[in-house]
Amino acid sequence: MVLTDPRIAIVGSGALGCFYGGKLLNSGLDVHFLMRNDLEHVNRAGLRIESNLNGNLALSDLSIHGDTQDIGPCDLVIIALKATDNEALKVLIPPLLKENTALLTLQNGLGNEEYLAGLFGEQRVMGGLCFVCLNRISPGVIRHIAEGRVAVGEFSGSPGPRTYDVELLFQRAGISCKVSQCLMTERWRKLVWNIPFNGLAIASEGLDTGAILSDRHLRARACSLMREVIEIARCCGHELPLSLVDEQVVLTEGMGAYRPSSVIDYAKGNEVEVEAIWGKALRMGIEAGAEVALLGALYDEICASVGSRKCKSG
């Protein structure tokens, strides 16, 4: 399958979907956004990406829809919904499919590719890991704070022509993108950051990353969690270097007072991706015989913090 000039659908047009979809659109690609909350505003005022790294980008006359039925079949579907909304994909995705449609999930955590494969066939499914700091600061306005690189890979089998086509599409849009030979290794690499910093932000009742690193005890806890996640990944067959801990600390210091997406959801009373980010990793670690005491304690704290929201037992 060739994806050199694809018709693209963005399913989930929050900060992540608007940022990457907007970049792809600006590069000249045919991009269609499924947008619900900000649809009327963006139709009227357009989409704006504010970035001190790459400069600001204003986009107007976008193809925005409230229903995937109105978008129709596409060559590439980029999924940027929260993992907590995966049930909706059963209805949202079928109108976008044709024989060779590729599904690229940019969602956080573990289990998203498996879910899509179970619904639509593993041959369609790709995954992308977005190492980026973004916030939606108002309707149709995305603030890009740091990073932006993407790692893409196939859910089943080795990278093929379409994998490298997607890499090239992102690169031509000004996005640093590399093909990963092992998608799951990259998922664990991202969890090395997501598990401690998203988690401690919730457990501390809303501290940003700068405040976490400025607190001696939270900083030490974040580093210990990163080391434990690396060891869990190794027990699950994914080798990551311990040097990643220091790299992530330096990277996070450069973010300043960044509020991770999970704590924003928590503060707004939205459902948090507890199972995708923490629960699944915890259970995989237990099954692999890894030491999971720190992750288990954090998972329990997060479940207590979100209260009545759904958390499965670890």
Instruction: Return the active site residues.
Output: 190
Question: How does 254-290 read in b/e, with b if 16+ C-beta sit within 10 Å?
Answer: ebeebbbbbbbbbeeeeebbbbbbbbbbbbbbbeeeb
CA pair distance 303, 297, nearest whole angstrom: 10
Cβ proximity of 198 and 261 under 8 Å: yes
3-state secondary structure at position 49: strand
Cα separation of 244 and 226, whole Å? 8
The DSSP line for 184-228 is HHHHHHHHHHHHHHHHHHHHTTS--HHHHHHSHHHHHHHHHHHHH
Beta pairing partners, 49: 57, 142
Residues in the chain: 314
Q: Which residues lie below 8 Å from residue 60, measured CB to CB, with a gap of 6+?
A: 46, 47
260 within 8 A of 170, measured Cβ to Cβ: no
- In a 3-state reduction of DSSP, which class is residue 98? coil
